[in-house]
């Protein structure tokens, strides 16, 4: 995780943010084309395009939010399962050690009895709860050797530690069970929201679907125009940065100092190279590769390929670096979307990004304005 961290920004835009998809982003302009004939339910009680737009938009947004909750629950469950396994292994090891010590003490007592030596009563020892209880009950403390006393004391110390570990393992198992239930709930929520959205879309007529496709095309054209504008702004900013860098390098040479290296750019290129090789792979919610990804799974894997560990979910990734303005975005930066921070992409420059959009789509390059400029939440530089 990067050293530069910020507190999670609070959204300032209106709630009810749109979600990327043909079924969502494209539908945002439907109301403008259907305020008359399509704005109200038809005579056969079928919902209007406007109503379908709102419902599908809400369903996909809820599904994305549930997906990130699923990712967080899955990560938590995985960690807890490892902890439980470790605790159970420790309990088993301690129990075996305890049994071995118990047998050894029994053998020693039996040997002393056979030789006629005065030995502690083994039955009394086995019924005692603590070393002092044993000594009090047997009244043989003064007749035990130093080594015998040490062995009995070690036994009860190990017994106490084993009992504590068993209690800790039991509590961890209970927590794991709760986390597994949270995981199942989140998974069920995602599946239901996506199924409901697909059902609504399947009920659209061919004419309605054609209208949506036309709207999507115009929307993509607008997104491309915005990306080109940003590319021009950034080109000018890059020119100024390069000029400043040359001047700094010249000053460094004259002063005999070393100019700052381009470590971020180097790491970013590695992340981008990885992301480009994933283009065409399907979006699968909860997936982290190598054959499929969800949005945050792709960005995490890309930066991991560059040697940088960032968190699993969007809610945490947004805090894993330094926030920069959109106009200052550089290749490798993370682009977050919507007030609830439920989507993320990897900026590649010129107003474009690589991202895993939604179920039914594939990893692809797309304008960061694909769902409108207002959908961009923030830009974060993770390294």
Task: Establish whether 295 is a catalytic residue.
Answer: yes
Q: From its phi and psi, is residue 269 left (phi > 0), alpha (psi between -120 and 50) or beta?
A: alpha
CA–CA distance, 355 with 345 (Å, rounded to integer): 5
DSSP-assigned letter for residue 282: B
Q: Are 347 and 335 in contact (CB under 8 A)?
A: yes
How many helices (H) does the chain have, and how many strands (E)? 9, 6
Is 4 in the active site?
no
- Are the CB atoms for 234 and 350 separated by under 8 Å? yes
| Catalytic annotation, pick one of 343, 358, 377, 381 | 343
Q: Residue 315 in contact with residue 324, Cβ under 8 Å?
A: no
The Cα angle at residue 286 between residues 283 and 290, in degrees rounded to 5: 60
The total of other beta-carbon atoms located within 10 Å of residue 221's CB is 11
Task: Sheet containing 376-381: give its strands across.
Answer: 322-324, 376-381, 334-337, 343-349, 352-355, 364-367
Q: Which helix (H) or strand (E) holds 115?
A: helix 49-115
CA distance 255 to 283: 52
Q: Which residues of 85-106 are buried (b: 16+ CB within 10 A; e: fewer)?
A: eebeebbeebeeebeebeeebe
For the stretch 151-188, what's the b/e string if a residue is b when 16 or more beta carbons lie within 10 angstroms of its beta carbon? ebeebbebbeebeebbeebeebbeebeebbebbeebbe
* Helix H or strand E segment including 125: helix 122-127
- Residues serving a catalytic function are 295, 343, 355
């Amino acid at each position: 995780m990067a050293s530069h961290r910020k507190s999670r920004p609070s959204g300032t835009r209106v709630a009810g943010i749109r979600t990327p998809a043909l079924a969502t982003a494209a539908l945002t302009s439907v109301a403008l084309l259907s305020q008359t004939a399509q704005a109200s339910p038809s005579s056969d009680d079928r919902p209007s395009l406007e109503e379908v737009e709102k419902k599908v938009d809400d369903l996909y947004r809820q599904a994305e939010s549930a997906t990130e909750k699923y990712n967080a629950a899955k990560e938590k469950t995985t960690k807890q399962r490892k902890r439980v396994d470790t605790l159970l292994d420790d309990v088993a090891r301690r129990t075996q050690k305890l049994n071995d010590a118990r047998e050894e003490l029994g053998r020693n007592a039996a040997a002393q009895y056979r030789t006629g030596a005065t030995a502690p009563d083994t039955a009394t020892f086995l019924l005692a709860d603590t070393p002092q209880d044993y000594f009090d009950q047997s009244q043989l403390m003064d007749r035990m050797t130093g080594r015998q006393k040490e062995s009995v004391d070690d036994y009860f110390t190990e017994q106490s530690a084993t009992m504590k570990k068993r209690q800790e393992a039991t509590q961890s198992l209970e927590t794991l069970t709760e986390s597994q239930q949270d995981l199942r709930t989140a998974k069920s929520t995602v599946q239901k929201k996506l199924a409901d959205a697909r059902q609504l879309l399947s009920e659209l007529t061919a004419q309605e679907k054609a209208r949506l496709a036309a709207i999507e095309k115009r929307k993509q054209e607008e997104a491309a125009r915005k990306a080109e504008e940003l590319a021009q702004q950034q080109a000018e900013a890059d020119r100024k940065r390069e000029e400043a860098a040359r001047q700094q390098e010249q000053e460094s040479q004259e002063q005999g100092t070393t100019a700052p290296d381009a470590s971020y750019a180097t790491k970013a290129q590695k992340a981008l190279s990885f992301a480009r090789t994933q283009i065409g792979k399907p979006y699968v919610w909860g997936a982290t590769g190598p054959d499929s990804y969800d949005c945050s799974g792709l960005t995490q894997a890309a930066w991991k390929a560059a040697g940088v560990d960032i968190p699993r979910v969007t809610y945490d990734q947004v805090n894993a670096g330094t926030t920069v303005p959109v106009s200052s975005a550089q290749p490798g930066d993370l682009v977050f979307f919507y007030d609830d921070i439920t989507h993320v992409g990897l900026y590649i420059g010129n107003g474009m990004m690589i991202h895993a959009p939604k179920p039914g789509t594939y990893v692809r390059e797309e304008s960061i304005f694909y769902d409108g400029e207002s959908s961009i939440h923030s830009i974060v530089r993770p390294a």
